[in-house]
Amino acid sequence: MINWILSRPEMKKFLARKPKKQEQIILERQTALSRKYEELNRRIDEAEDAAMHIKLRRGRNANESEITNLRSDMQEPIAGIYSLMNDYTRDLLWLEVHRALAVKGFVMPEELTMLRSDIDFGLLSLEEFEGIEEILDYDNDPFSEIEESILKEFGL
């Protein structure tokens, strides 16, 4: 997964920046994320209020066409909540990725492989490690496996 994340040019630029600039970028992402969270909560509250209004109207024996109109008016705000929730989740993921990359001492995986080649293992048998470079270099998209399992689960 690290290879997938670091294949994005902005991530390499982020790693090349000084720690203070990285902290500033993380702070900006946190601020934007908190604004989205507040907006998401506001929209959820509005949808709850609309649902309570429908419940109240139903309790007062409103006709079915009025209830249907009120429900259709709720569909757009609910769809907006879903798109905002997706944006919030994506931004939260990238914030956590940035936080992980900003950890002091973070080293790129290919640097670890290069460092390992310089190690003198002495009496340690290296036969068990044959082919490990191929495994470490294997680039796997972690979301493809998740997508396949979800599609199977829902029968799509």
Same domain, 44 and 97: yes
Structural domains of the chain, count = 2
Same domain, 48 and 85: yes
Q: Model confidence over 129-149: pLDDT tens digits?
A: 666 666 666 666 666 667 777
Same domain, 42 and 98: yes
Same domain, 95 and 80: yes
Cβ–Cβ under 8 Å, residues 74 and 50: yes
Range of the domain at 55: 17-104
- The answer to whether position 8 is within a domain reads no
d(CA 23, CA 149): 36
Q: Model confidence over 92-133: pLDDT tens digits?
A: 998 998 898 888 877 766 666 666 666 655 555 555 666 666
Helix 19-59 and helix 64-101: axis angle, to 10°?
A: 170
Cβ–Cβ under 8 Å, residues 1 and 142: yes
- The answer to whether position 75 is within a domain reads yes
Residues ≥6 apart with Cβ < 8 Å to 88 = 33, 36, 37, 40
Same domain, 156 and 96: no
Taking Cα atoms as reference points, which of 41, 48, 55 lies closest to residue 74? Answer: 48
Query: Given a cut of 80, is residue 90 above it in pLDDT?
Result: yes
Kind and range of the H or E run holding 102: none
Name the DSSP class of 128.
Answer: G
pLDDT band at residue 152 under the 50/70/90 scheme: confident
Same domain, 49 and 95: yes
d(CA 98, CA 136): 22
Same domain, 148 and 74: no
